[in-house]
Chains A and B, each alone.
Chain A
Amino acid sequence: MSEFLQHLINMLVLGGTYALLGIGLTLIFGIMNVVNFTHGVLYTFGAYIMFIVVQQLGLNFFLALPVAVLAGWLLGAAIELTLLRPLRGSDIDTTMLVMIGAWIAMQSGALWIWGGVAKSVTTPFPEAPLVLGPVSVSWLRLFVLAAAAMLILVTYLLINRTSLGRAMRATFQDHDTASLMGVNVDMIYTSTFAIGSSLAAAAGALLGPVYVIFPQMGDLAAVKAFAIVILGGLGNITGAVVGGFILALAEELGAGYVSSGYRDAMGFLIIIAVLIFRPTGLFARAERVG
């Protein structure tokens, strides 16, 4: 029983970060319809910003987090302005190829600057874990869970309760009508991509100190983010959050009770099942056809 409780705690901590990864991508992939291969690199970028600010500049850990989010926002905006804006209107394959190119170039850039050897970031949290009866969890992971929950809530409110969010939804539903209604469509494209990117950077900044930081760290994260978005339904924030927790649960219980060798396969088995039985994702609403 205590083992099961520990697995549930692990799932909660892991799921929070998966959800954060998922919502950033669901904005870009789900709402903007851009197959964003740079999502993983932005995750890596956020982690390296933490490394620079905390380890190299010796500044405060909590100060470094907003710096990483802001840096992610700026890099995202730059990608949108230089790569995506000139390509708007071209077919999805062209955009996809350009994004793959950007991913490879940025990953090689990280390798060139920081080298292939993993870096780690020191945190202000105590080494001794929080022990609650039979289960225990590290303070750092609890902080990451709380920060992720806050970011998810902020994003949800931004999309559903603000005029910017309304303009975003309108733009990606019908680009021309939104434009006729006075929405600055160019600005909406840039901000949506920048917000999605800053969420990826935030996930990297939070998880980099938990794990280790290296140029390819974003690859597995990006694969999982795509899986979560497909699981939850494209463009659905609630779906991405629940999808994140489902993936974490599948991995934890799969590794705990089936076989640890297949840990990363568990999530994808679920996704295959979802694609067969509910191809639009678990939480997709019925869509109008035509």
Chain B
Amino acid sequence: MTRALGLVRTLALATALFGSAAGAQTIKIGVNEPLTGAFAASGTYVVNGAKIAADEINAKGGILGKKIELVIEDNKSNPTEAAAVAEKLITSDKVPVLMGAWGSSLTLAVMPKLMEYETPMVVETSSSGKITTTGNPFIFRISPPSAVEAAAFKGIVDKLALKKVDFLVINNDWGRGTAEDFSKMMKDKGISIGLVETMDQGAQDMSAQLSKIKSSDSETVIVTTAVDQLTLIFKQAAALGLKKRIITTGGSQNPDQIIAQAGAAANGTMHLTTFLPWFPDKTPNPEATNYFITEWKKRGFEFAGCTESFRGYDGIRTAAAAIEKAGKAEPAAIKAALWNINIKGLNGDIVFRKSGPEGKESGQSQPNVYLIEINGGKVEMKTL
């Protein structure tokens, strides 16, 4: 028995030593995503997209002669956990750059840690304006802030003849930020704003909010939340006989999943997305889009996840490009290099422009935004 225990201990020690020795041969990228909790579906898609990018880069020989290694941690859809995970990735795994943290509230919670340890992070999904305007020079965002979504939406407002709009948004920085930015844009256009209803990120029953919206005198509802809650909203809206036009924002809708789970209730709804996997030829980089979609399907993932997973793919390619440009896997060099990269993302060129207070600007790329409509269970593109 004692001998067996001794053997186990030796083995554990050997694994630990071998593990760290092997670690030196790779370049680590920290991935901080929600794999459980309210945003589990979305975070898992992003991580799977990130793995495709890492495998693609490694198959071509890696960067700086080394393979890249993703150190993936679950932030549990919880801001406190997101900050703890970031600290663990930086101090214990010694990653020189991170990607994360999906939700705006999660990313905002991580930001002070980036300042503390002077480590840059590629933000792949979050859309709250605050992220790039509060003066955190370690933030490099490739997703559109909600004000950019609102501006892109401006063009179609007249065509849709919007008069009065209600909001139903997730009660966090993402949802409230979207309601604010869209309200501002719509008021400028002379559209009146009715109700602004919120829901907790873990809430499963939105009937009370939807009943209130049903009796209001607006004709359109703007809904902002992630896919799991969205499918519930579509089902519950149908059960209440809510007949208003529903438009969703944020790009985390996975329209195909809504069609599959909400059925007829999804018809006539519109969605602002940041990727067009249905029409690869209409994306800014058709060849890369086709490669990504083929690879995604080859791995047996659901097509619905593409609208979310491409963010992980682009995020890791952004971080890898910066490491290559920096010539070394060190946080300060990567941060400087991020300002000089220019890569073809699946949703437009990734080039960072300065955003936020002078002297401590964050980087913000300018991705495209699209409006799609679900009709007869199919996705159609609308011109913005």
Q: What residues make up the interface of A, taking CB atoms closer than 8 Å to B?
A: 2-3, 6-7, 10, 13-14, 111, 115-118, 120, 127-129, 131, 136-138, 141, 211-212, 214-217, 220, 251-252, 254-256, 260-261, 263-264
Contact = CB atoms under 8 A, between A and B. Distances in A.
Contact of A116 (B36, B197, B212, B241): B36
A136 B239 CA distance: 7
Interface of B: 35-37, 40-41, 44, 74, 171, 197-200, 202-205, 207-209, 211-212, 214-215, 228, 231-232, 235, 238-241, 261, 263-265
Nearest to B35: A116
Given A138-B239, A141-B239, A256-B212, 17 more contacts: A3-B211, A115-B40, A116-B36, A116-B74, A117-B40, A118-B228, A120-B261, A127-B263, A129-B239, A211-B232, A212-B228, A252-B207, A260-B197, A260-B208, A260-B209, A261-B171, A263-B209
Given A212-B204, A212-B232, A6 B214 contact: yes
Contacts of A256: 208, 211-212
B40 A116 contact: yes
A188 to B, nearest CB: 35
B204 A129 contact: no
Contact of B240 (A127, A129, A252): A129
A284 B207 CA distance: 32
B212 A215 contact: no
A261 B198 contact: yes
A136 B240 contact: yes
Contacts of B199: 260, 263
A129 B241 contact: yes
A47 to B, nearest CB: 11
**7 closest Cβ pairs, A-B complex:** A116-B36, A138-B239, A116-B40, A255-B208, A3-B215, A211-B204, A136-B241
Contacts of B235: 138
A55 to B, nearest CB: 12
Contacts of B239: 129, 136-138, 141
A117 B40 CA distance: 5
A2 to B, nearest CB: 6
B205 A14 contact: yes
The SS class assigned to the B binding surface is helix
B205 A211 contact: yes
Contacts of A115: 40, 44
A6 B241 CA distance: 11
Contacts of A111: 36
Contacts of A10: 207-208, 211
A205 B235 CA distance: 18
Contacts of A138: 235, 238-239
B241 A131 contact: yes
Contact of A127 (B208, B214, B238): B238
B231 A212 contact: yes
Contacts of A255: 208-209, 212
Contacts of A216: 36-37, 202
A118 B40 contact: yes
Most buried by A among B35, B204, B263: B204
Nearest to B74: A116
A242 to B, nearest CB: 20
B208 A263 contact: yes
Contacts of B263: 127
B215 A2 contact: yes
Contacts of A13: 207
Contacts of B37: 116, 216
A131 B199 CA distance: 25
Nearest to A3: B215
Contacts of A3: 211-212, 214-215
A14 B207 contact: yes
B36 A220 contact: no
5 contacts: A6-B240, A10-B207, A127-B265, A255-B209, A264-B200
Contacts of B35: 116
A275 B261 CA distance: 42
A14 B207 CA distance: 10
A226 B299 CA distance: 44
Nearest to B39: A116
B198 A260 contact: yes
A150 to B, nearest CB: 22
A6 B214 CA distance: 10
A77 B171 CA distance: 40
Contacts of B41: 117-118
A220 B37 CA distance: 12
A252 B208 contact: yes
A155 to B, nearest CB: 24
Contacts of B211: 3, 6-7, 10, 256
B36 A215 contact: yes
